[in-house]
Every structure is written in C-alpha cells, then in structure tokens.
C-alpha cells in the first residue's frame, strides 16, 4: 500500500535525499578523526579505492533491488527471491537491514544530540577564550550528565519522527530540500575560512600526501568498514529510498552522483577541519574528541570564533538530521505494510522503540558505564556490532544475491545498461568477486576485534 504509490517528485530529489542520507556524522565527525588517527593521505587513498570498487557497485545494486521490489526491504527481498525461484531466506537481507538501521539510529541520535547541544554552547559563546582544560571539562561534564544526553536525544527523535510521519514527499523530501543546500553552503564557507588561515596547504598535504608507513592493517580495515557506513549501505535506507525512485531515472548516474557528493563532502570536511586544527597548533590525531574537544579549543581562540563555531555545529546538526530521517524510514515503511498501520502511528511506535533503546546508549556514557560485555559499553557494542558485523554481512549477502542469484538480464534492465558495456562488466565483476572477497576479509578481521 504505502511504498508502491510513494515517489520522489523528481530524480534529482532522490539524489539529494540519498546524498543527505549518506552525508552525516560519518563524514564530518568520523572521517576526519579516523583519517587523523591513521596518518592521513595513505588512509584516504585506500578509502577512495574501497568507495570505487565496493561502495559504488553496491550502491547501484541496492537501488536497483529497491526499485525493482518497490516495497519495504524485507518484502522487497522476499518478492524478488520468490519471483526468481530462489529461497525466501534471502529476505534476511531486509531483516538485517532493518535491525541495523534500528540499532544505528538508537546511538546515532544520541551523538546527533551532542551536536545540537554544542550548537547552543557555541551560540552562547561558551568556548570563547576558554582554556583547553575547561573545554575538555565541559565535554566530560556533558557526557556524564544522563539528563542532558536524554533531553537532546529525545529532541532529535521527536523531530525525526514528526518529519517521517509527514510522508515521503511532504516530510522527508521537504526537510532534505531545505536542509541539505544550507549544509553544503556552510561547509563551503568553512572551507573558505580554512583557506584564509594560512594553513590550508598543511591540511591539504595531510589529507592527500600518502605516507604508507603510517597505515597499519587496522587502518586498512577501518577504511573499508567506513566506506559502508558513510554510504549508508546495507541498512535498508538506500534500498528504501530506491523504492520511491521514478522508473525512468538512471540508477548508474544517480549512484555516481551520490557517491561523488558523499566523498566530496568528507574531503571538504577534512579540508575545513585540519587547517583550523593546525593553525591553532593542535594535533590531528585526537580521536573521537576531535570535533567536540579539539575544534572548540580552536573556535575559542580565533577571530569571530563564536560565529564560526556556531556555523560549524549547525552544519553538523543538519548533516546528522538528514541521516536520522533515512535511518527511521525503512522500519516505518515495514511497519505500515506489515500491520496496515497509518504512517503517523507507525512512525511514533517504531520511533518510540528506538528512543527507548537510545536511552540505554545515552546511559552507557555515565550511569551504566560499568555495564560491559566483552569489555565494551552498550554504545560501543552497538557501534561495533552494526558497523563491523551487520553492515559487512548485509553487503556481502546483497553482492551474492545480485551477483549470483538475480538473473543478469533483470539487473541490466533496471540499470539500463547493455550487456557488453564495459561499465556493466566491471559492475558484475565487483558483485560476483571483488566485493564479496573484500567484505569477507574485513568481516573476519572485525570478528577478531570484537
């Protein structure tokens, strides 16, 4: 009922919405700090290779599955498997996707809440002239306060639920159309500022100069894992957005546009952040605190730092928000179709479940910090379980299904590619061999880490 009739109002809106889903905390919070931790250029180079040989082909595969099935990820996979006389067990791809998006949103929304809180701090001028110690203290106090984390997490969830409950065109589409361009504009402004710091070439050098001695096996694995997370692959989000794609749209062109834009934003974020870090004589390898500890120190000491800090955190909120919408939608669509529920009801029921689980994630930074399994807090577990296990597994199954189980003619029909086209041959090669082998490799390594 729901998905078969829902459509984006144009192909470009789809590209924008999917890019909004892909661009998020992964690009602006995670990418710069894992690049910093892994020494820069060599890591970036490997990440780009992963994006091209695994990420792009899988993006095409997920969109084509979604558009072919035109239902929620579970029903889509079941329909396609049965239609081509394959086992209905392939619907596990959809189930895994929904579970991943449910779990990811439960912690993503907590971190998105941090960005909202930091926007308020920046507006209030709380970083101005603060000592590094005071800024670190501010962060520690913040995450030690369960009520603050819960309040911001709740706010993010309420707005996300509300927008999703308004529908695909009236809710998600409008929100993305309003937010994404502003986000890009703010990012460009910040890059402009970074150019003026005088440390832009240092940032550029750090990001692009490949020093392979700095890259270990762990870094290489992180590069591949991050390619999944940043492109929102295997969570059902892209498949779901693909289900709303008009039939005449070119999936290949759309995928290239989404992947290029996502990668472009990640690189621009690096180019905005590292020059600011270097200009203030701070270190690039600060880890997850790079955005919440190192940058505020820089904002506190630069000209118009209050303004730049505010713009930076607003940009982060907007980027995170277009991703939370994409994370909620697949589960909501599933609920609507499975229980014939109204969209509003589905959004509030599913959203409340995610909110509840999010409470556990928020508390794992303070009251429940001692609750650990295999030495990890609930938040760390949810992050590892999804990014290192569930997403690679989902991606592997998608590649195997599309590469070996779905008739090639069906894929090519959706992709609008002729059989002997070179792009088509590379794509099939990736689905059948390159992506599965690469994923099995990180999957095994990730199991070792857990």
Q: Does 96 bind ligand PHE (CB under 6 A)?
A: no
With left for phi above 0 and alpha for psi between -120 and 50, is residue 23 left, alpha or beta? beta
Q: How far is the CB of 351 from ligand PHE (least distance, A)?
A: 15
Quickly list DSSP for 233-250. TTSSHHHHHHHTS-TTS-
Q: Which is nearer to ligand PHE, 199 or 244 (CB)?
A: 244
Instruction: Determine which residue in the list 27, 71, 165, 430 makes contact with ligand PHE, applying CB under 6 A.
Output: 27
Q: Is 172 exposed, middle or buried (0-12, 13-18, 19+ CB in 10 A)?
A: buried
Burial of 422 (0-12, 13-18, 19+ CB in 10 A): exposed
Is the Cβ of residue 38 or residue 237 nearer to ligand PHE in the bound state? 237
Return the residue nearest ligand PHE (CB atom): 26
Give 64 or 238: the residue with its C-beta nearer to ligand PHE: 238
Of the pair 115, 310, the CB lying nearest ligand PHE is at: 115
Q: Which of 109, 119 has the CB closer to ligand PHE?
A: 109
- The one segment of 68-76, 81-89, 225-233, 339-347 that binds ligand PHE by CB under 6 A: 225-233
Closest contact distance (angstroms) between CB of 203 and ligand PHE is: 21
Q: Does 387 bind ligand PHE (CB under 6 A)?
A: no
The answer to the question of residue 232 lying near ligand PHE (CB under 6 A) is: yes
Name the one range near ligand PHE by CB under 6 A: 69-77, 87-95, 229-237, 280-288: 229-237
Interaction between residue 235 and ligand PHE (CB under 6 A): yes
Q: How many residues bind ligand PHE (CB under 6 A)?
A: 16
For ligand PHE, the closer CB: 58 or 104: 104
List Cβ neighbours of 384 (8 Å cut-off, separation of 6 or more): 376, 446, 449, 450
Is 321 within 8 Å of 115 (Cβ atoms)?
A: no
DSSP 376: B
- Residues 170 and 191: their CA atoms lie apart, in Å, by 32
Q: Which is nearer to ligand PHE, 238 or 381 (CB)?
A: 238
Give the Cα separation of 135 and 129 in Å (integer).
10
If binding is defined by CB under 6 A, does position 25 make contact with ligand PHE? Answer: yes
**Rg of the Cα trace of the chain?**
21
Other C-beta atoms within 10 Å of 88: how many?
11
Q: CA-to-CA distance for 68 and 77, rounded, in angstroms?
A: 10
Packed helices 132-143 and 92-124: angle between N→C axes, nearest 10 degrees: 130
Verify binding: residue 22, ligand PHE, rule CB under 6 A: yes
> Which residue in 58, 254, 326, 346 binds ligand PHE (CB under 6 A)?
326
Minimum distance from residue 30 beta carbon to ligand PHE (Å): 7
Q: Is 275 in the site for ligand PHE (CB under 6 A)?
A: no
- The distance of closest approach from Cβ of residue 404 to ligand PHE in the complex, given in angstroms and rounded to an integer, is 25
The dihedral of CA 7, 12, 15, 20: what is its sign? negative
- State how far the Cα of 289 lies from the Cα of 263, in Å rounded to an integer: 22
What residues contact 190, with CB distance under 8 A and at least 6 apart? 272, 308, 311, 312, 315
Q: State which of residues 2, 17, 26, 255 lies at the interface with ligand PHE (CB under 6 A).
A: 26
Of the residues 3, 230, 263, 377, which one makes contact with ligand PHE according to CB under 6 A: 230
Contacting residues for 282 by C-beta, under 8 A, at least 6 apart: 294, 297, 298
Q: Is 227 in the site for ligand PHE (CB under 6 A)?
A: no
Q: Least CB distance from residue 230 to ligand PHE, whole Å? A: 4
Decide: helix, strand or coil at residue 373. strand
**24 lines the binding site for ligand PHE (CB under 6 A):** yes
Least Cβ distance, residue 24 to ligand PHE (angstroms): 2
Give the C-alpha separation, 218 to 210, whole Å. 17
21 binds ligand PHE (CB under 6 A): yes
Residue selected from 286, 318, 327, 396 as contacting ligand PHE according to rule CB under 6 A: 327
Cβ nearer to ligand PHE, comparing 206 with 229: 229
Give me the residues paired with residue 167 across strands: none
The residues binding ligand PHE (CB under 6 A) are 21-22, 24-27, 101, 104, 229-230, 232, 235, 237, 323, 326-327
């Amino acid at each position: 009922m729901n998905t078969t009739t829902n459509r984006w109002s144009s192909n470009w809106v789809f590209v924008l919405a999917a890019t909004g889903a892909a661009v998020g905390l992964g690009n602006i919070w995670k990418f710069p700090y894992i690049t910093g931790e892994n020494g820069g250029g060599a890591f970036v180079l490997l990440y780009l290779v992963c994006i091209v040989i695994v990420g792009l082909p899988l993006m095409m595969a997920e969109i084509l599955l979604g558009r072919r099935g035109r239902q929620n990820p579970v029903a889509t996979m079941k329909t396609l498997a049965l239609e081509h006389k394959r086992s209905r067990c392939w619907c596990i791809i959809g189930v895994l996707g929904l579970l991943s998006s449910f779990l990811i949103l439960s912690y993503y929304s907590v971190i998105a809440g941090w960005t909202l809180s930091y926007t308020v701090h920046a507006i209030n001028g709380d970083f101005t002239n603060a000592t590094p110690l005071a800024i670190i203290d501010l962060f520690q106090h913040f995450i030690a306060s369960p009520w603050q984390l819960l309040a911001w997490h709740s706010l993010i969830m309420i707005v996300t639920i509300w927008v999703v409950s308004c529908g695909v065109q009236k809710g998600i589409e409008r929100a993305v159309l309003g937010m994404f361009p502003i986000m890009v504009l703010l990012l460009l402004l910040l890059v402009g500022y970074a150019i003026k710091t005088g440390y832009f070439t240092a940032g550029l050098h750090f990001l692009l100069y490949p020093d392979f001695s700095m890259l270990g096996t762990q870094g290489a694995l992180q590069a591949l894992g991050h390619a999944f997370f940043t492109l929102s692959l295997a969570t059902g989000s892209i498949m779901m957005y693909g289900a709303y794609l008009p039939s005449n749209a070119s999936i290949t062109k759309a995928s290239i546009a989404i992947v290029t834009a996502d990668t472009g934003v990640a690189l621009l974020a690096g180019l905005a952040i590292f020059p600011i870090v270097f200009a203030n004589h701070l270190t690039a390898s600060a880890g997850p605190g790079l955005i919440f500890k190192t940058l505020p120190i820089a904002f506190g000491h630069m000209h118009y730092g209050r303004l730049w800090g505010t713009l930076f955190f607003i940009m982060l909120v907007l980027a995170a928000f277009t991703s939370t919408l994409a994370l909620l939608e697949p589960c909501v669509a599933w609920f609507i179709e499975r229980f014939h529920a109204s969209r509003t009801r589905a959004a509030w029921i599913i959203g409340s479940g995610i909110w509840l689980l999010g409470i556990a994630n928020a508390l794992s930074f303070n009251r429940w910090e001692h609750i650990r399994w295999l030495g990890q807090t609930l938040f760390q577990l949810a992050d590892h379980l999804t990014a290192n296990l569930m997403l690679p597994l989902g991606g592997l199954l998608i590649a195997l299904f599309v590469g070996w189980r779905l008739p090639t003619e069906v894929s090519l029909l959706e992709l609008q590619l002729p059989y002997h086209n070179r792009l088509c041959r590379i794509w099939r090669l990736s689905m059948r061999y390159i992506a599965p082998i690469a994923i099995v490799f990180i999957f095994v390594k990730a199991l070792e880490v857990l």
